[in-house]
Structure formats: structure tokens, C-alpha cells
Structure 1
Amino acid sequence: MIAFFQEKGITPDQLQHLLDEMSIELVFTAHPTEATRRSLITKSNRIAGLLESRDNDLLKTPRQRAQWQRSLESTIDLLWRTDAIRRVRQQPIDEIKMGIYYLDEVLYKALPDLYAEFEELLAEHYPTLHVPPFLRLGSWIGGDQDGNPFVGADTMHTALRLQREHIINHYRDTIELLAQEYSQSLTHAHITPELQAAIERDAHLLPEYDRELGPQTTLEPYRRKLSFMWKRLGATLTPPTSTEPYTQTFAPLSRHEEPSSSIAFQNAQELLADLILVRDSLLAGGETELAHGLLTRLIRQVEVFGFYFVSLDVRQHSERHAQALAELLSTTGLCKDYRALDEEQRLNILNNLLGDPRVLTRPGLQLSPETWHILHTFQAIRQARDEYGKKAVSCYIISMTSSLSDLLEVQFFCKEFGLNDLPIVPLFETIADLHNCTNVLGHAFTHPAYSAYLEQCQRQQQVMLGYSDSSKDGGILTSGWELYEAQLRLAALGKEHQVGITLFHGRGGAIGRGGGPIYEAILGQPAGTVNGHIRITEQGEMLSFKYGLHDIAIRNMELVVTGVARSSIPGEYDNEVPQEWRDIMRDLSASAHERYRSLIYGDSSFISFFEQATPISEIGWLNIGSRPARRTKNRAIEDLRAIPWVFSWMQSRYVLPSWYGVGSALEAYIDEHPERLEQLQRMYQRWPFLRAFLDNLQMTLSKADMHIAQRYASLVEDQALRQRISKQIQEEYDRTRALVVRIVGGQDLLDTSRVLQESIRRRNPYVDPLSYFQVTLLQRLRALGGPLMLDKDEEAEASAEQQERARLTYAVLLTVNGIAAGVRNTG
């Protein structure tokens, strides 16, 4: 990346401005697509570490090599003996601990190492630059309530409390190491007056501990100061009042909670200030190496992780807010049936509520548990921001946003709890909502109440774009293009109203949910929409692949930073896309949308084919997530979440959501005028958006296997249905594959990416047998009545048929795990 800056003639001032403006956040989610248990992930990582030590020739003696061999064999033995299937469904606390695992084991060190590497490279060519903490981490784990009844106010505080405990213990461990190392005596070293004054203040604050340290440390000022910091961090660990359980006896919170201890650090900035005092004193005394070692890394860690490790987003469905407000208005006699009102009538009521200084959510109201759930959530957010800092809960996301009232309803709840600067983030997910997003926000930016709210948020507006549901709703091509166009319109809207727009990309792990190589995806964003600011979800299934190992985590983050930096340099990726190309994509999108919808939603019998030709019914027994697979109990595809939708098609090797409809659109376009093929080839070579899209399409078409998919189709009982839809899918696959190869060049898929091509070819022989096993097992299991899991007590009393069903269920789930691990990008 540094070479790129030099090649483009970027001056130090220009680069410093870019670094100061950049804001990148990778947001972890707990979506239920990580089929591999944490026990297996940790053991696999242990094996990777052992192999790395051998590759690096760290085993010098016969005794070391023998010990290495024993460690490897024992870890592999444990892998074989560890159950690959979860017997109990995961709870939110399990997901929270899984997220913290990656933070503890990898990212706590990897993220500051990335900064250090970047600073070292910059120092060679741009020695005067300062690197601010532009890359941070976020999380939905513990805060994502959309469709998950098990996540609420308590869950959010549990996540924040555990994260706080872990990060502060990390700081204490590092400070303890520094205290042991920094033994400089005043006889041979000097400290700054500022550090001396800070030590004296600490001694006054902690007189008993000062006496406990003993007279020796008075001659060792650095050790003494670090010891005080270690002690104060211990007091900071005292559990806050917000860990007490919430009840339906609602009472508004006070505006400020007293700290648990007077010696505790009140916030991370106080700790950071102390660390900088120590560093500046070392530099003033000429101890440069000590100042730039472990201490510098700790300073960066405190800058990035604060006292909360990662900031938490809270998300809820827009309908839940409307329901809660309707009940509040009905109970207080202000409106009999808010839900029955049209948009204009709702806005009139919301305008009055937002302009009324009185609090509507008073104690003693008789409300349903669902409404209390919403109220306690906002209560908990206020409390968390008071106790952990405002950055601890970074925003509130509204799923399925479709109107201005969706935003104002959340603003009303924020007003009720004194949350006057909590960013409200609309999430636009369906094709229709992507079309309408600028209308909704245009009205919001000119609405007096929301415009005033924006002022409290420094006129910054996050907008989340849903890749998963838009793809499930309209197909992969239409989703990609509508997202592209929506970003352009949003960027223009922000300029018009002088509102800073940060786009939050809700990318999934699979291509059918917006996944794929992150670097190419960022470069493929429309010109003028990144501008150094971006948020991106990192899905649960991809965490072990992207962040399971230190070096891989750094590599992944490097790709994100490089992509954002290159996309944000003026003149690099802001060339105007010809209108003709956009018209072509608009036509292709409409054609692909029609083809996709006609099969998925227009054919009433398709749902039966889907349920029988994929393991959608069985994967729910995997216990891989705390959230239900469907939003409601209906069978309709509309109510099925995008994650299990993609997961099941990947299992059956159709990979249908990632390519269906594209071939028909391309064929119809080219058949009208054959010379259009050359035009599409030029567009692929010159347009990063289309290149990223078609390269992802190559990958998913390569992972699909229609021969194996036909074996899954044999599970469909209705022969006429099976033959009709199988033929339709097969023809569309052949059509798409042939046309993609013609556009991108080469003789076969991925000829333009030989490494990936070879990787998939080598992987398939190990995955394919599992698919054949799965089809046979599914056939036998369904013939006996479907999945059944038994615990040890139930097994003893079960009939022979029940025991056989349980064994077959276990075997099916093993194949699901194996295919998921082998195919990757599963959901």
C-alpha cells in the first residue's frame, strides 16, 4: 500500500488528511452458520501453532522434537475424541463467549500488530505522519435482538460486562509485565516533572497500597507508577450496578451512576493519559527502545479497545417498535389503535410525542412482556453508556426500515430515556426498500425533530444495506445492482443535505448473502461512496477462517485497510461510469429479477421441492445458533431467514441463491445483438464492480455440482415436480456457466484465478463423498419419520426404531458439518 501511495504521488499532507478522516469498523455477528464447535477450533489452532513451530525450525534438540511429536499426537487424538455435534442448542452466552475467544486469543494482539507494521512501513517513506486509531472492531453478539427472543437487556449487559472484564485483565497482565521490566532507579535515570506529580497523586489516593509497595519502589518510579495503575485497574473491575436483573417494575434511570470505587479509573482516557505520561518520560530520558516496545502496543490497545473491548450494536425489527408504541399509546389513552393508522397519521402522533417534554413511559403501566422488552432495552442502553462510555453501545439498528415513522418511533424511545445522541441506523433490506431508501432519509433530513437529532450526532448518519435479504428477495444480480445504485443515491443525498453518510455493509459469508473477497468488494463500490468511512459485518461462520490465526487476521485486516484507502484517494476510483453501462446493468437486473422471482416465488410448488431436495429441515437440529431459522411459524420462503436459505442450498451443492437468474438475463441481452458480448467483456475488464461480481459468480459456479445436486433432487417424492424443477435449474446453470466463461475469458471457470481454481479442485474429492453419504442418510432418516435426538437417559428407554432415528440424525449432522467446513462460504 505504501508503494501505491508513492506511485500516485500522494504527499505527506494528503496522506495525513486521509488517515485522520478514515474510519473503518469490522462488526462481528453471531449468525448461526459456524457449524464447528469452539473446542474443535481451539484444537485446530493448536495444531496450526505446532506446525508453524516446526516450519520455522524452532525445534533444535531431540528432546524438543520428541515433545513436539507427543503434543501433536495428543491434540489430534483429542480432536478425534471430541464430539463434533452440539447436543444442546447454543444460548446467547455461548455466542458471547465465542466472540470473546477471538478477541482474547487473536485480535487483542493482531490489531495493534497491524498498526505497528503500518507505522514501520510509513516511517521509511513518510516519517512525520501520525497514525490515528482508524480501524476498530464492533459486535452484534449480545445486542442483536431481531428475531431472537433470547437476546435482551440482560444479554447486552452480560456481553459488555464480560468484555470489560477480559480487556481490563489483559491490561493488568501487560502492566504487570512492564512493572517487572521497568526497574530503572532514580540513581541512574530521570523522570519528567509531570510523571513525578502523577506518582504523588496516586500515592495520596492509595496510601495503604503505597506502604505495601515498600520503600524500595520510591527509588524505582516507573515500577511504582505502573503498580498504582495495576491497582486502580483492579478497582475498575468492580461489577457495575447494571448487572442486576431487569424487572417489569419499570423506573427511569438517574442521569449518572456513582463510580463503584473512588480509586477506579473513570474511563479509558484516564488510563491512556497515564500510559502516555510514562512513555513521554522514557523518551525524555533517552530510553527510546523501552518507550516503543510493549508500552507502545499497550497504548494502541487502550486507544482501540477502551474499557469495552468492542463496541456493541443493538438491532431490533421495525415492527417491534410499532407494536410497543401502539400498546403504550393505547394504555395511556392517547391513541386507540396506532397500528391501524396510515403513515401521515402516524407522523402526526410522533411529531406531538417528540415535541412533548413529558415522559410517557411512567412507572406502574400494565404492559405486555414484549413491550417491556423494548423499554428495558432502551433503559439498558442508557445505563450501559453511562457506565461503560458512549462508545460501548455505538448505535441502534432498525431492521426492515421502510418509512420515516420507523425512524421516529426509535427516536421517541431514545427521547424517553435521555438518549439524545445515540446514532439511529436504518437497515434497508428488500429490493423495494433499497429503491425507497433515499425517499425515507430525504424526508428524515428535512423533518424538524429528526434534523435536530442529527445535530446531536454531529450530522453524521449511518445507513445499513442488507445484502442477505435483498438477494433472497430479488436474486443475486438484482441485489448487487440495487445496492450499487442505492449507494450512489445516498451519497448524493448526503451532499445535498450536508449530512455525512457512512455506509454499513451487511455482508454475509456466502456469495448469495454478499460475501466474497473483501478487497475486491471494496474496490467495486461506487465512486464517492466510501470516502474513508465504512462499516462491514464479519459473519459468525467466517470468524474462524478470517480471525482464527494471528497472521491470517492481520492479512484480512490489511486487505480491508488497503481497499478503503485506495477507494478514498481522489482520482483513483472515482472515474465516472458510462451511463450506457449503467443502463445495461439496469436492463440485466430487471431481466434476472423476473427469472428469479418466477421460480422462487411464482411457482407455488417450489417450496415442496426446496424442503425435500435440501436438508433445510435437518440443519435446525445442529444447535449452531440461538436464533430461530424462521421469523414466524409459516412455511413460506418469505418468512425463512436468509442464512438457512443459503446454508441449505450450499449443502445440496446447488448453490442456487448465488447464481440463479443471471444466465437467462445475459443470454437474452446477447441474443438481441451478438456484438454485445464484446461490450460485456470490456465492461468486465474496466469496471471493478462488474469484475468483482462475475469473479464471485465464477467461484460459486465452481462450487456447485449439478451431478451431486441431482442426487439430492431424487429425494423429492413427486416425480413430475422433481423432473420439471430439476430440468429448469440445470438449464439455467449450464446457461450461466457458459456465458460467464465467455465474458471473463479462458476455457473454464476460474481460469483467471488459478490458485482458487486449484484449491477448489483439490478440496472437492474430500467433500463429495460426504454429499453422497448425506443423500443416503437423509433418505433413510426421512423414511423413519425424520430427525430425533436422544439424551443418555432417553436412549435407555427408546425403541429400536427411535434409536436408529437418533443414530441417523447424528450421522446426517456430521455430514452437514463436514460439507460446511469443506465448501466454505456456507451461509
Structure 2
Amino acid sequence: MSRDSLERHASIDAQLRLLAPGKVSEDDKLVEYDALLVDRFLDILQCLHGEDLRETVGFPMLLLHCAVLSFAYFSSNFGRDKIQKLVRPHTIQYPRYVQECYEISAKYEGTGDPSKLDELGNVLMSLDPGDSILVASSFSHMLNLGNLAEEVQIAYRRRNRLKKGDFVDENNATTESDIEETLKRLVEQLHKSPLEVFDALKNQTVDLVLTAHPTQSIRRSLLQKHSRIRNCLTELTAKDITPDDQHELDETLQREIQAAFRTDEIRRTPPTPQDEMRAGMSYFHETIWKGVPKFLRRVDTALKNIGINERVPYNAPLIQFSSWMGGDRDGKKCSRSLCSCGDRTIADGSLLDFLRRVSTFGLCLVRLDIRQESDRHSDVLDAITNHLGIGSYHEWPEVKRQEWLLYELRGKRPLFGPDLPQTEEIADVLQTFHVIAELPSDSFGAYIISMATAPSDVLAVELLQRECRVKKPLRVVPLFEKLADLEAAPAALARLFSIDWYMNRIDGKQEVMIGYSDSGKDAGRLSAAWQLYKAQEELVQVAKQYGIKLTMFHGRGGTVGRGGGPTHLALLSQPPETINGSLRVTVQGEVIEQSFGEEHLCFRTLQRFTAATLEHGMHPPISPKPEWRSLMDEMAVVATEEYRAIVFKEPRFVEYFRLATPETEYGRMNIGSRPSKRKPSGGIESLRAIPWIFAWTQTRFHLPVWLGFGAAFKHVMDKDIRNLQTLREMYKEWPFFRVTIDLVEMVFAKGDPGIAALYDKLLVSDELWPFGERLRANYQETKHLLLQVAGHRDLLEGDPYLKQRLRLRHAYITTLNVCQAYTLKRMRDPNFHENVKAKEIDLNDSAADLVKLNPTSEYAPGLEDTLILTMKGIAAGMRNTG
């Protein structure tokens, strides 16, 4: 082996040793691997690094350096020649470019030297358009395959732990809820009676609402291939696998990975709402239909293990599904004759599974929620009042709106006829109500009013349902999203409950939805999280006062900036008495695939929600002490002021945001049917939460998540140093505060201000550089203060396994970040490419075929596709799109 080659391999191996734990054992809580699989991975690395590899490197299956060369790092039969044939048959040089990019990125991750980013940029800029696309594609594929390997690894570790009875630590942010473990803990440790547990369980309801939020960046055709790859990996972990089985699985794996690499990753046209509906419904056919009865049988088994020799009733509302994409629900019974004849064993077989499906899904499979913005209803009513000659509804104060709406609701006269002047938008709203009136009532769930602000928003929908002759009106659910609206929500609900007509209408039940995304965009994560907590407490008290059963509907996204996080801890950190056996929660975009993409993922998801809902009701978290509340109120004010001072009041913030991030290019991914803005004009206010979070996630700066925390911490510590001890006490004892801090700490572990600085250097005008430097200084100060509060010396000190998993992928993401930043520069500055030693495009080269996939691009060949592939790859590496 040449000296250069030896040095190159030594640098890679040093990086592997740096990132991987030195010890792998049964007792090591960092890692538990399947030895056979690791041996097979090491076989491939041995081909690349030499015979001494096994003596110098011990690391998990995710960190498989040859993956970037092969996309087939799971097969021990691949040598370098076969790898090159698989990746790019016509170009021997291609793997060298990938290898070189990885090595420079790894050096940057190891040293933090910004000159390595410039060096990497020079390598990437020297590539022809086809090679740029292939490099971006290779790292994107690597991260997706790494995600699959990680999922298999986590599932394998959990199975081993459960076999040994070694349940996970519930304080760990990566924990999963196990229904059997939860039931045993409630009975044995918390001294609940088995009958009490059974009664609570069979009467609780978790309604999972699938939505088409545009965060799934992977095409459906690739998701299907990923599913088959995941299944192959799972089979390879079997201890009793035969050599023939292994050989066949190797071939299947090679075939599927090669097919994935040959599949166009880019959606060439935006999906329609019908496309989104079909994609969402496919999960019901493929996993959920089978998964629900399988999960309920596990619940039966868990109950038996605590002494309950009775099954969960088939019509118990344990799990329900709704959709914002399309669907339906409910069903009936038919097993009494078998039970009365003494054949309960037969009745408890496949017939019980069928009855449970009917009870869960109904005849229409899933119920459809309708969601519409409050302003659209106001526009319709304004057209009606103007047509009647009684004034403009838009100009009326809230009190007058309520008076008029109640007068009409209590009366019987029709408000308008076919002569009502209608714009296209007004006709669209009215047509929606007419469709609701025409279809069977059990086809629908709730009518959600987004951006709800006042009682009149709810009464307006009630009136429009009546006017459009909806025989069985949908329940109306206000969605409070912005900080001020969350603050006003309890008073709005109290006003509705004080109205006799409304109390007769709701029959003792009310649902309220709270929005995590727009509240965070409006005030920052700290203030939004605290106001969401307080709003739930106050809403529950209002409902109690009026004798109403309240169901909270949580509009959570996948990212921390949009309310995401581990399900178990997210639920157990909610205020006491706010779940109370009844919960609705959105499952959005990419989270649908992560939750229901495979049968075992479906099973795990149902288990998490059911166990956490039960535990929250029977063993609620502690309420915050008065001094904790006081400190949170004070910090929230400071955090909001800093967040809004930068995001909304800084004169050139919007300009900086759009230059320093790929926000304006977000729509090129074609991952959603709706526009990225609620209104075509406007700044941050009109931008939807997903592209807002997406843009900062891509640059690894994550500004919406952490901005405000540092100022809040600094303020209370400067005021009284003893507040630091109070904050540490809150972190140790209060689940809400601990989860909030842990999730922000995890985001810091994913971040890199050095990468954000590169985007500034290439894309931002010189006069805005000082502003970017101030933000990065704020980032570092906030990280330091957060670690002080958590009592950690380093990020994720309390969760080394998660820390390792995140660090392993950084070098791959860095290459994509640098590629993206330089590609954005070339797209935005037409003169920039003149300084690059561009290669002549050989139209006979296979790379040219990739360039031809986008012949109508307004940019130089290959640039747009390279950019989109980097977006998708970074989203895969961060495990989040927006």
C-alpha cells in the first residue's frame, strides 16, 4: 500500500476511533450489537483498510465508511471492484471524489478547522455537473441507509433488553414505552389495583390524526425500497440464519440498494391533495390494518400478566384514527352466539381481530377532519352581511359578532340564497360545507378552525353548518396557535360555555386544539412551551367549572421547533389532569413513515401512545412549585422580547434569513401541495412554520429552537445567582422543564455554527456579516448557559448513546452542507461559476443523463438537482425536514 494511501487510511481510522466507543460488552449501556452482523460489516472494511482493521477499530454498524463508496455496506461479498461497478459502472474516478469529500469532512469534524470547509468547497467546485449530482446523491443515500441500519440496531437492542427483563430508564430521552412494563410498574411500584388499571385502560382513547404536512422529503417509490432493505437487515440479525439464507439475503440486499440508487430521488412535479391522500391511506392498508389487532392482543397479554383474565372489550375506544388527508371510521358487533355456546376460544381468535378492526376503523377506515382558517369563514359572513345590507362583519367588534351569530343560530330564517355574490374563495368555503352535508355523517371527525382567536370563530362555523343544511353537524374545534391567542383561549372557552345555546349543542364534551408550530414561530420555543403548558392548565379548569369533559388536541410536528420529541416524555411532561384518558395528536409528514412505515413501527407507536396516556392519567407528573412558575413567567417575558426583537423588529432580519438559508428554494423539493406561505406577500408572519424550521435546520443553526433561552437564563442568573440552583432543581424534579431543556440540548448536538458561518461567507452581503456573527455568539452563549442549567460539562452528557449516534453522521452531513452552500452561491450569483474550473460535459457520459432529467431548469446544468439532493440528504441526516 502506498504511503499516501496509508496516511489516508490512518486519518479515517483515527476519526472512527474518535467517534466510536472503545468498549463493547454486555454491560456497556452505550452499545449492544449483533456480533454476526458486525463481523460481516468488518469483512468489507477489511478489504478497504487491511487485515489489521479488526485490531484497531470497534464501532457500530452505522459508522461504516465503505458505505459512501458502495451503498451496500451490509454485504460481505463486495470488494472494491464490485463496489465501483454497483455505484457507477462507467466512471472509475467517482468513488475517489466521494472518498476525498468524506476525508476532508471527517477532518473538519475532528478539528473544527474552517479551512477544511474551504478545501472541501474547492473539491466540490471542481466536479462536473453530473459528478456533483452523484456526490450529493451518494451522501444522501448513505444517510438514509444509515437511518435504516440505526432503526434495525435500536429494535435489536430493545428486543435483547426485553428478553433479559432489562427495561430502559424512563428518564432517558430516547426511551420507548412498553405496555407490559407500564402495567407492571403501575401495579407493583405505584400500588394501583389491577382492576383500577383495567378500568382506566378500557375507557381511555388515543386518536392519532394523520396529516399531509409537507415534511416527507423521500419519494414513495424510495420509501418502498427502504422498507425492503430494512426487512433484509432485520432478517440478517437472526441468530439462526443459515449460510444459504445469508447468501440469498446478500443478493436481495444488493439488488434493493442498487435499485434505490437508480431511482430518481427528486419529485419532478408537486403532489396534489389526492396524491397526499393516497399516500397517507396506504399506511392503513400496509401496516395499521394488521397492526391494531396485533397490538390489542399484546394489551390482553399484558393484562393477564397483572392478574386480569379478561380481554379488552372489542369495542373499547383504545385506539382511533382520523385524517386531514381523507378517510372514515366506526362499526358493529357479531360474536355473542359463539360465546353463548361455550366457544369463547374461537370467538377470541380471528373474529375478535375483525371486530376490533370494525370498532377502530368503522366501515370507512378513517374519519376525515376538515380544517379551515378562521379568516375564510369571516370572509363568507362579511359577504352575507353586506348582501343583507346590515353592515360589514369584518368591521364589527367581537361583542356585536357574537350577538348577531347567536340571534341567527336561535332563529330559523335562511341567511342567503343563490343570489349571494361569491368570489372563488367564498364559493370554495361554502362548497366544503355542502359536501359535508351530502356525505354520511360518520365519514367525518372534527371541523378544525385554524388561527382561532375568539368565540365568534366557533359560532361562525356552527352557523355556516346550519345554513348549508348539515343534518348532523361536525364538532367544532378551535385551534389556538399564536401566543396571544393561547393566552386568551381560556376566556374564549369560558364565554362559549356561558351561552345556553352552545351548552345544549356540545352535550357536555368539548375539544380544543393547541398549535406548537406557529406559537413557536411567534414567540420562540421557551415562551411557547410555557404558554402551551399554562393554557392547558387553565382550559382544564374552565371545563371543570362548567362540568365539561375536555379533550386536548395536540398539533405537534416532528421537529423540536414544531413541538416534536420522544412520545413518552412529551406526554408525561404535560400538565396534570390535561390528558385524563382522552388524547388527540397529529402525526405529520415524515413522522408518519417513522411511526407506521413497518408493522413493528406501527406496533411500537401504538404501544407508546397507549402506555404514556395510561401512565399520565394514573400517575400524573408533579405540578410546578410557585417559585418555579414565577421564574418561568419571568424568563418567558425576557425570551419573547429577545426573540421578537431579532426576528420581527431587526430591520434586515428577513433579508439576512433569506440570504443565509435555502428558504426561497424550499418549494423546489415539491414535497407538498400547499404553498409555503399563507399569503403571497409578507415576511416571517405569513411564512408557514415548516419552511421556517426547514431553512434553519438545513444550515444546522436551528435558530427558532434556541433563540431566547440564553437571554432568559442570563437575566435570572444576573438578577440572583441563587436562581441557577433553582433552575437545576427544576431540571431535576419537573418533567416539563427537563424535557424542554433536554430537547434543546439535543438540537445543539445536531448544530454547528461553523457551517452556518460558511453560508454567511458565501451567500450573505458583507454589511450583514456582523449580524450573523452576533447570532453565532448568542448561540455559543446560550449553549454554555443551557449546559450550566443541566449541570452537564458537554452536550448530551446524560445520554452518551444518542450523542454517539448523532456524531457518527456529522461528517456526511457536512459534505452536503458545503455542497449546498456552494450550489446556492452558483445559482444566486451567475458570475460565480466563471471562477470555477468547469469541465466540459461529455454527452456520452452517464452523468450527463442525470443532468438531462431536469432539462427545463432555469439554472446551469445540474445545479438545481444537486441543490435538491443536498436538501433531502441533510433532512435525512438530521432526521427532520421541517
TM range (shorter): 0.7 to 0.9
Q: Does 1:418 align with 2:470?
A: yes
8 A contact 2:205–2:320 mirrored in 1: no
- Counterpart in the other structure of 1:504: 553
Q: Distance in 1 between matches of 2:201 and 2:402?
A: 41
| Residue type of the alignment partner of 1:749 | L
Tell me which moved more, 345-354 or 809-818: 345-354
SS at match of 1:298: helix
Q: Distance in 2 between matches of 1:58 and 1:504?
A: 46
Deviation at 1:130, TM superposition (A): 4.3
Q: Does 1:445 align with 2:503?
A: no
- String of CA shifts for 1:728-773, please: whole Å, max 9, x gaps: 2112211111112122223211111122111101121221111111
- Counterpart in the other structure of 2:714: 667
Tell me which moved more, 66-75 or 645-654: 66-75
- Counterpart in the other structure of 2:127: none
- Counterpart in the other structure of 1:636: 683
8 A contact 2:698–2:871 mirrored in 1: yes
Deviation at 1:118, TM superposition (A): 1.1
Q: Distance in 2 between matches of 1:654 and 1:756?
A: 19
- String of CA shifts for 1:432-451, please: whole Å, max 9, x gaps: 00110011111111123222
- String of CA shifts for 1:708-735, please: whole Å, max 9, x gaps: 1111112344212122x21221122111
| Residue type of the alignment partner of 2:456 | S
Tell me which moved more, 359-368 or 635-644: 359-368
Deviation at 1:71, TM superposition (A): 2.2
- Counterpart in the other structure of 1:350: 405
8 A contact 1:30–1:625 mirrored in 2: yes
Identify which of 660, 671, 688 aligns with 2:735.
Answer: 688
Runs of 4+ in 1 over 6 A off after TM superposition: 794-799
Seen in structure 2, the aligned counterparts of structure 1 residues 114 and 797 have a Cα distance that, compared at 3 Å, is closer
SS at match of 2:672: coil
Deviation at 1:127, TM superposition (A): 2.1
Q: Does 1:579 align with 2:626?
A: yes
Q: Distance in 2 between matches of 1:559 and 1:348?
A: 45
- Counterpart in the other structure of 2:519: 470
8 A contact 1:395–1:425 mirrored in 2: yes
Query: After the TM superposition, which residues 90-101 of structure 1 pair with which residues of structure 2 at under 5 Å, given as runs?
Result: 90-101=271-282
8 A contact 1:279–1:291 mirrored in 2: yes
Q: Distance in 1 between matches of 2:368 and 2:280?
A: 12
Seen in structure 2, the aligned counterparts of structure 1 residues 358 and 279 have a Cα distance that, compared at 3 Å, is farther
Identify which of 370, 379, 397 aligns with 2:434.
Answer: 379
Query: After the TM superposition, which residues 329-368 of structure 1 pair with which residues of structure 2 at under 5 Å, given as runs?
Result: 329-331=385-387, 333-363=388-418, 365-368=420-423
Deviation at 1:783, TM superposition (A): 1.3
Seen in structure 2, the aligned counterparts of structure 1 residues 449 and 729 have a Cα distance that, compared at 3 Å, is same
SS at match of 1:25: strand
Q: Distance in 1 between matches of 2:285 and 2:873?
A: 27
| Residue type of the alignment partner of 1:763 | R
Q: Distance in 2 between matches of 1:610 and 1:776?
A: 17
Query: After the TM superposition, which residues 85-124 of structure 1 pair with which residues of structure 2 at under 5 Å, given as runs?
Result: 85-124=266-305
| Residue type of the alignment partner of 1:823 | M
- Counterpart in the other structure of 2:605: 556
Identify which of 460, 476, 479 aligns with 1:427.
Answer: 479
Seen in structure 2, the aligned counterparts of structure 1 residues 42 and 786 have a Cα distance that, compared at 3 Å, is farther
| Residue type of the alignment partner of 1:650 | T
Q: Does 1:805 align with 2:868?
A: no
- Counterpart in the other structure of 1:75: 256
- String of CA shifts for 1:671-711, please: whole Å, max 9, x gaps: 22222211111111100000110010111111111011111
Seen in structure 2, the aligned counterparts of structure 1 residues 330 and 58 have a Cα distance that, compared at 3 Å, is farther
Query: After the TM superposition, which residues 18-57 of structure 1 pair with which residues of structure 2 at under 5 Å, given as runs?
Result: 18-56=200-238
Deviation at 1:575, TM superposition (A): 3.7
Deviation at 1:329, TM superposition (A): 3.0
Q: Distance in 2 between matches of 1:321 and 1:411?
A: 11
| Residue type of the alignment partner of 2:572 | L
Identify which of 393, 397, 400 aligns with 2:451.
Answer: 400
SS at match of 1:498: coil
| Residue type of the alignment partner of 1:783 | D
Q: Distance in 2 between matches of 1:729 and 1:101?
A: 43
Deviation at 1:647, TM superposition (A): 0.5
Seen in structure 2, the aligned counterparts of structure 1 residues 40 and 351 have a Cα distance that, compared at 3 Å, is same
Identify which of 860, 867, 871 aligns with 1:816.
Answer: 871
| Residue type of the alignment partner of 1:677 | L
Identify which of 735, 745, 753 aligns with 1:698.
Answer: 745
Q: Distance in 1 between matches of 2:725 and 2:678?
A: 45
The CA RMSD over aligned residues, in Å, is 2.4
Deviation at 1:330, TM superposition (A): 2.8
8 A contact 2:321–2:361 mirrored in 1: no
- Counterpart in the other structure of 1:782: 828
- String of CA shifts for 1:141-167, please: whole Å, max 9, x gaps: 33xxxxxxxxxxxxxxxx33xx79xxx
Q: Distance in 2 between matches of 1:477 and 1:620?
A: 29
- Counterpart in the other structure of 1:280: 339
8 A contact 2:447–2:474 mirrored in 1: yes
Seen in structure 2, the aligned counterparts of structure 1 residues 337 and 618 have a Cα distance that, compared at 3 Å, is same
Identify which of 744, 747, 760 aligns with 2:793.
Answer: 747
Identify which of 795, 808, 812 aligns with 1:762.
Answer: 808
Seen in structure 2, the aligned counterparts of structure 1 residues 797 and 547 have a Cα distance that, compared at 3 Å, is closer
Q: Distance in 1 between matches of 2:378 and 2:471?
A: 19
| Residue type of the alignment partner of 2:569 | E
- String of CA shifts for 1:96-122, please: whole Å, max 9, x gaps: 111112222111112221111111111
Q: Distance in 2 between matches of 1:717 and 1:120?
A: 60
8 A contact 2:763–2:821 mirrored in 1: no
Q: Does 1:720 align with 2:767?
A: yes
Deviation at 1:66, TM superposition (A): 4.2
Deviation at 1:280, TM superposition (A): 2.9
8 A contact 1:16–1:129 mirrored in 2: no
Deviation at 1:364, TM superposition (A): 5.2
Query: After the TM superposition, which residues 142-153 of structure 1 pair with which residues of structure 2 at under 5 Å, given as runs?
Result: 142=325
Query: After the TM superposition, which residues 185-334 of structure 1 pair with which residues of structure 2 at under 5 Å, given as runs?
Result: 268-269=331-332, 272-273=333-334, 276-277=335-336, 279-280=338-339, 284=341, 286=343, 288=345, 290-331=346-387, 333-334=388-389
| Residue type of the alignment partner of 2:655 | S
Deviation at 1:806, TM superposition (A): 4.8
Identify which of 572, 582, 594 aligns with 1:533.
Answer: 582
Seen in structure 2, the aligned counterparts of structure 1 residues 754 and 393 have a Cα distance that, compared at 3 Å, is same
8 A contact 2:525–2:706 mirrored in 1: yes
8 A contact 1:524–1:692 mirrored in 2: yes
Deviation at 1:136, TM superposition (A): 2.8
8 A contact 1:321–1:410 mirrored in 2: yes
SS at match of 2:192: coil
Unmatched 5+ residue regions in structure 1?
143-158, 165-266
8 A contact 1:137–1:311 mirrored in 2: no
Q: Distance in 1 between matches of 2:819 and 2:238?
A: 39
Identify which of 113, 135, 154 aligns with 2:318.
Answer: 135
Deviation at 1:65, TM superposition (A): 4.4
Q: Distance in 2 between matches of 1:135 and 1:703?
A: 36
Q: Distance in 2 between matches of 1:86 and 1:735?
A: 40
Percentage of pairs with the same residue:
33
Identify which of 176, 193, 207 aligns with 1:11.
Answer: 193
The count of aligned residue pairs is: 682
- Counterpart in the other structure of 1:198: none
SS at match of 2:795: coil
Q: Distance in 2 between matches of 1:438 and 1:354?
A: 23
SS at match of 1:268: coil
Q: TM-score, normalised by structure 2?
A: 0.74
8 A contact 2:573–2:621 mirrored in 1: no
- String of CA shifts for 1:544-568, please: whole Å, max 9, x gaps: 2222122222223222222111110
- Counterpart in the other structure of 1:180: none
Q: Distance in 2 between matches of 1:585 and 1:825?
A: 29
